[in-house]
Amino acid sequence: MPIVEGTYGLLAEFDTPTQLVRAAENAYSAGYRRMDCYTPYPVEEAAEAIGFHKNEVSLVCLIGGLLGVAAMFGLETWISLWAYPLNIAGRPYYSWPAFVVPAYEWTILFAGLSAAFGMLALNGLPQVYHPLFNAANFRNGASTDKFFLCLEATDPKFEPAETRSFLETLAPLSVVEVEY
Amino acid sequence: MSHSHHTKTLPDQLAAPAFVAGWRSRALVIGAIFSAVAVVLGFLSGDGWSHFLRAWLLGLMITFGFSVGGMALLMVQYLSGGKWGLLVRRPLEAMSRTLPIPFLYFLPVAIFGVNFKKLYLWAQYPDAASAAKQHLITNEQAHAIIFKHGMLNPTTFWVTSLFCFAVWFLYSYLLNSWSLKRDADPAPNVPYWQTKFENISGFGVVVYAILLTACAILWVMSLDPTWYSTVYGLQFLVGQGYGVLALVILTLIGLSNAEPIKTIFRVTEQHDLGKLCFAFTMLNMYLAFASFLIIWSGNSPEEIPWYLDRIRGNWGVIATLDVIFHWLIPFSLLLSRDLKRIKSRLVVVCCIMIFARCWDMWWLIEPNFADARRNLHFSVGMLEYLAVPTALIAFWMAYYFTQLTKRPLVATNDPHLAEILEPEHAHA
């Protein structure tokens, strides 16, 4: 992997989620697209403000669940009808009520695992290095009581001086330049 | 971006908007039309008003579920807390104040069903042994009627039912009058009121569960004296929660066209209520299927006929549709996050859920009777299941809307009020 150098982005720090969301909305309407919000707890409106409306985790979860129910129900049907048919209390081989509980369990299992691993796969975690941790205020605040907006240098609209003055109009506590 | 970044202010006018009166007159018109239809069908069916009374029982169970179930959910939200609780508090109080209506509906069931012996087999043949000898009832039925005589007799039926209503009237009175006192309290003694409501509700939820089990057994389960199931009361309990949640969401969405609900009904809480609906959909199916699976596995001649009565002779179609209406459709639709956040779509799901309650109740009630068990067939009387419950539910709704207009729609002496007026992203 090539070593990247230079500026990762400009990091603005806010005291409240409301200020963060307002800043993110302003940045989005000013034309910035490559940016991200960092908050100590989920703030759904922040995701919305930067144009992130949907993620695919729910779809992955749904597909996982459907695969789970199909796999277990199929397995039970195959065992009971073809592989090892047993006469249990004279019931028909295809006794679907008895198949429902394991099939349900597998639905939940597959859906849960798909959601967890799908989430990791789609959000790029685990990540061993992130440039933002070079900023001291981020290290201290992002997981406690501060709300951050980072405009990234890869954005075509990014100009160090201009972007900094733009961010300062949003009344942040601080604006820090973050290195890779 | 549409949402506001500023704390909203509570409107001055907290009373129900004027269009609620329009809902009420519409409900009254529907009630009147379907009552007329029900009476005409009663004369046409030529079954001695038997189906009329069965359908009346269905209407009783649904409206009783809204009243008493609404009161139960009211107590649950006092216990659980949460911003959704503040939103639904006044509609649920209005539901709990409609208790006189199910009580009126109960009287014909008790008078004609028990005293005039029109509904219940155990009331019809108190001398079960000789009835069995004359082959009017089966030996199993006779045995069950004799064995359960201590519970299944007119005196116990009346005393137990009246006792249950008395307790619920008391609870409805206390919960409602304290709530007004709490709002009028000049010194906002929030912890005092919270404790007071928690204490009455904690006990009240337990009492509700026990009394509801008694009512469900006496009013519906005893239609088939041979049947017993320990999960029966719980199924009614969850069914009531299911129906009440659907109705309360419909109420809030209807009221959200105007102040004051427009201001305080945020998407976050709408989403929360949708999630609760989803949980109840799942729990409802879980109980129903668990009880079916256990009895199916046991395959015991004492238990299995109850299900066979409701599966054979084309009743299986009704049972399958019951699963589809009750679980498959609401479950699949409520999986979607967007659906729970879009009012117009959530309304559709809630309507399906209330319809499914009625469908399920039909499947529970009708196959208890000798002419219908294992034999689903059309008769004019069957149409009563459409007419009578619609009329009863419509009249109940009219009374419910009247109660909604009686009080401010927002309870004010509650710290959740400040939170609910904040912008949505202030709290995760």
Can you list the pairs that B258-262 forms with residues at least 24 positions away whose Cβ atoms lie under 8 Å?
B258/B17, B258/B19, B259/B11, B259/B13, B259/B17, B260/B10, B260/B11, B260/B13, B260/B14, B260/B408, B260/B409, B260/B410, B261/B87, B261/B409, B261/B410
B314: left (phi over 0), alpha (psi -120 to 50) or beta: left
Distance between CA atoms of B359 and B326, rounded to whole angstroms? Answer: 9
pLDDT for the residue numbered B412: 85
B303 φ/ψ angles, rounded to the nearest 5 degrees: -105, -40
Residue B190: helix, strand or coil by DSSP? helix
Distance between CA atoms of B76 and B245, rounded to whole angstroms? Answer: 12
List A residues 99-138 in contact with B (Cβ-Cβ < 8 A): 100-101
Token pair, residue A156, equals: 């075509």
With contacts defined as CB-CB under 8 Å, which chain A residues touch B335? 62
Token pair, residue A126, equals: 């685990």
Question: A35-38 and A147-152: which strand pairing?
Answer: antiparallel
Asked if A46 lies within 8 A of B425 by C-beta distance, the reply is yes
User: Is B153 within 8 Å of B124 (Cβ atoms)?
Assistant: no
A87 φ/ψ angles, rounded to the nearest 5 degrees: -85, 105
Q: How do the pLDDT tens digits run along chain B, 428 residues long?
A: 344 566 778 887 888 888 999 999 999 999 999 999 999 999 999 888 999 999 999 999 999 999 999 999 999 999 998 889 999 999 999 999 999 999 999 999 999 999 999 999 999 999 999 999 999 999 999 999 999 999 999 999 999 999 999 999 999 999 999 999 998 888 778 889 999 999 999 999 999 999 999 999 999 999 999 999 989 999 999 999 999 999 999 999 999 988 888 888 888 899 999 999 999 999 999 999 999 999 999 999 989 999 999 999 999 999 999 999 999 999 999 999 889 999 999 999 999 999 999 999 999 999 999 999 999 999 999 999 999 999 999 999 999 999 999 998 888 888 888 888 887 755 44
DSSP state of B375: -
Mean pLDDT over A27-43 rounds to 90
pLDDT for the residue numbered B425: 58
Asked if B423 lies within 8 A of A46 by C-beta distance, the reply is no
Is residue A2 very low, low, confident or very high in pLDDT (cuts 50, 70, 90)?
A: low
User: What would the DSSP string read from start to end of A89-143?
Assistant: TT--S--HHHHHHHHHHHHHHHHHHHHHHHHHHHHT-S-S--GGGGSHHHHHHTT
**Closest CA–CA distance from residue B6 to any residue of chain A (Å):** 9
Instruction: Tell the burial category of B79 from Cβ atoms under 10 Å away from its Cβ (0-12, 13-18, 19+).
Output: middle
**Closest CA–CA distance from residue A34 to any residue of chain B (Å):** 19
A44 in B contact zone (CB under 8 Å): yes
Residue B253 CB partners (closer than 8 Å, separation 6+): B265, B270, B343, B346, B347
Nearest residue in chain B measured CA to CA from A15: B426
Is residue A141 very low, low, confident or very high in pLDDT (cuts 50, 70, 90)?
A: confident
Distance between CA atoms of B94 and B401, rounded to whole angstroms? Answer: 8
**Closest CA–CA distance from residue B289 to any residue of chain A (Å):** 9
Instruction: Tell the burial category of B27 from Cβ atoms under 10 Å away from its Cβ (0-12, 13-18, 19+).
Output: buried
Asked if B5 lies within 8 A of A18 by C-beta distance, the reply is yes
pLDDT for the residue numbered B361: 96
Asked if A101 lies within 8 A of B1 by C-beta distance, the reply is no
Residue A170 CB partners (closer than 8 Å, separation 6+): A12, A19, A22, A23, A26, A27
CA distances from A98 to B115, B289, B296, B300 (A): 43, 11, 9, 16
B15 φ/ψ angles, rounded to the nearest 5 degrees: -70, 160
pLDDT for the residue numbered B1: 38
Token pair, residue B397, equals: 């709704």
Instruction: Tell the burial category of B426 from Cβ atoms under 10 Å away from its Cβ (0-12, 13-18, 19+).
Output: middle
B398: left (phi over 0), alpha (psi -120 to 50) or beta: alpha
pLDDT for the residue numbered A85: 94
Distance between CA atoms of B264 and B248, rounded to whole angstroms? Answer: 15
SS3 of B208-258: the string is HHHHHHHHHHHHCHHHCCCCCCCCHHHHHHHHHHHHHHHHHHHHHHHHCCC
DSSP state of A2: P
pLDDT for the residue numbered B2: 43
Name the residue facing B5 among A22, A41, A98 (closest C-beta).
A22
Half-sphere exposure of B218 (CA within 13 A, CB side): 27
Task: Quote the ipTM score.
Answer: 0.81
Name the pTM for this structure: 0.89
**What does the angle CA B207 – CA B244 – CA B11 come to, to the nearest 5 degrees?**
110
Please list the residues that pair with A37 across neighbouring strands: A149
